[in-house]
Structure 1
């Protein structure tokens, strides 16, 4: 499989949506098992100093082998619903953003919907934008909330990357952690709240991929033996794409909202790598205190990452009515995107 990228880039920038909505509750689930950098050095040729300097990660979580992504989703959804003061039966839609589904069929969102008892909710999955799936899921939720029959949407970002990382992979083994985080979005009456603008882009690349298990390379004994079902990642390609596309996307989305990046109150970024985040903030001239960091203790949690940052700010009471905030991520594909929003 080639690692070359197509030469064309498809980017869509759009204005916001007329029906306002707000974040009314968030939730987080972290598996109790903690894996420190020191723990990793027992099986990988690495060191605590090397991992910290290159990633900013000191520890990450690992899901118990008898559990799956949907279990984390349900565990994150319950406190989010409690914070929002909604029952599962009140939900109009459940959207799960994850590239580590419980299984190919049935859908993870249907499993989560059933476990929660969200009997009348739409069940929707957003999967193959990987770490950018959370941005896609919120954009989808924002559009659903324009429909007068939909007033409450639960969005969950969750990934169990430990199931798709080769045990001897020095890169993947140090980066990724397992987690789930959820947000309840509800219609609001505050004019000007909700989605102000967005920028969504993609450019085909195989620099981050799981080649095995699809229709092109179905699962066989040979693909399993070759490790084709594990994530492979070209670090330099990720760095170059992320540090270019994220600042461009943020600048485009905020401009569409009539704002500049420095005027945004909060930034909730995909928690990929401390160096990528710092370089993005530097290029945008954004103070570090506007972008909460969770990767130091959670690692790269895939689609959950930006929601863990949102949860951090929300539970601290720092996301206030009238505040502007950006949700921004990049994922395998490559897919990237930025949402610019205002809290009701």
Structure 2
């Protein structure tokens, strides 16, 4: 069911927020268990050729049963903090973007902050934009850094979709992987760096949802038996929304930043589907190599996907000072957004 209620929001920040900031460290955690297409074909009515041609995915990761999303977050945070030269005790905020929290109550960000020893940090969870939660978390972090009492933020994007997908579903069962990514954001003296502009939008839709477990359909024996706690997804609706909204929001954000799109060096896009990435870069008219790909070996890792692509560029040394780049994602709801930033 889709309700045609669109609420676009576009905001221009000119040459950036008054307080510039920088990404000073990144990290990722990939669970060691690899699940290939060949393994999935043994239990699902599909084929390696179908999965690869429709999604571009060859393999994905699975988190061990005794671990949770917070464990992935902690593992991704440590290398990011080390790269940034930041001790956990110096953090002013820990933000976790995920739709697969450890439990409905209490806060996953609080669990992570405690495990790291970031005892003075504010803990925030950004959850219900699903795969777009990481983009929203980055926007929140950028604005928090305008507060003179906040200088250093740890942002984590992590999803453990294997816990909410039906292993017998040939659609959702092949798309998703488990992963976490981290970025450390700090104030900087580099004027003009940080957030230049953003473009957000939404359109109420139930085409991607987990129906049960909330106040409308509380957990019960009946909801568990019916599989209502699993992710339900209309693939065609996702394709239509993503291939339309991602290019629109990117163009809007870049235009409001006053940057020609051919001068954007990197496009860190939601790793939902390789064909969606190809359609988006084609619609933008930018070279395909400007959008790093991780979905082929990690699957759709939800909110982490944008940041696994960002980490790849940082690790390879291709994100350079002065580079203009875009973070863009779309998630259940539908909610989407793009941020245009400049690297310090």
Tell me the TM-score range normalised by the shorter chain.
Answer: over 0.9
- Report Cα offsets for 1:187-226 as digits up to 9, x if no partner: 0001100000000111110000000000000000000000
- Report Cα offsets for 1:258-297 as digits up to 9, x if no partner: 0122210111111000010100000000111111000000
Is structure 2 residue 331 aligned with structure 1 residue 331?
yes
Name the SS for the 2:338 alignment partner: strand
Aligned to 1:130: 130
1:10 Cα deviation (Å)?
Answer: 2.8
Structure 2, gaps ≥5 residues long: none
Q: How many residues align?
A: 342
Normalised to the residue count of structure 1, the TM-score between the two structures is 0.98
Contact 1:257 1:340 in 2 (8 A): yes
Contact 2:6 2:201 in 1 (8 A): no
Separation in structure 1 between the aligned mates of residue 96 and residue 52 of structure 2, nearest angstrom: 31
Separation in structure 1 between the aligned mates of residue 297 and residue 202 of structure 2, nearest angstrom: 29
Separation in structure 2 between the aligned mates of residue 118 and residue 54 of structure 1, nearest angstrom: 42
Separation in structure 1 between the aligned mates of residue 43 and residue 10 of structure 2, nearest angstrom: 44
Name the SS for the 2:2 alignment partner: coil
Aligned to 1:202: 202
Aligned to 1:97: 97
Aligned to 1:66: 66
- Report Cα offsets for 1:3-56 as digits up to 9, x if no partner: 122333332333241110011000000000000000000100011110000000
Contact 2:6 2:202 in 1 (8 A): no
Structure 1, gaps ≥5 residues long: none
Is structure 2 residue 17 aligned with structure 1 residue 11?
no
Is structure 2 residue 44 aligned with structure 1 residue 47?
no
1:267-306 matches, within 5 Å, as 267-306=267-306
Aligned to 2:38: 38
Contact 1:100 1:161 in 2 (8 A): yes
Separation in structure 2 between the aligned mates of residue 90 and residue 288 of structure 1, nearest angstrom: 39
1:135-154 matches, within 5 Å, as 135-154=135-154
Aligned to 1:237: 237
Aligned to 1:165: 165
Aligned to 1:225: 225
Contact 1:251 1:260 in 2 (8 A): no
1:244 Cα deviation (Å)?
Answer: 0.5
Contact 1:262 1:284 in 2 (8 A): no
1:57 Cα deviation (Å)?
Answer: 0.2
14-23 or 300-309, which deviates more: 14-23
After TM superposition, where is structure 1 displaced by more than 3 Å over at least 4 residues in a row?
none
- Report Cα offsets for 1:149-175 as digits up to 9, x if no partner: 111000000000000001111011100
Separation in structure 2 between the aligned mates of residue 69 and residue 27 of structure 1, nearest angstrom: 15
- Report Cα offsets for 1:106-149 as digits up to 9, x if no partner: 10000000000001000000000000000000000000000111
Aligned to 1:315: 315
Contact 1:25 1:183 in 2 (8 A): yes
Name the SS for the 1:321 alignment partner: coil
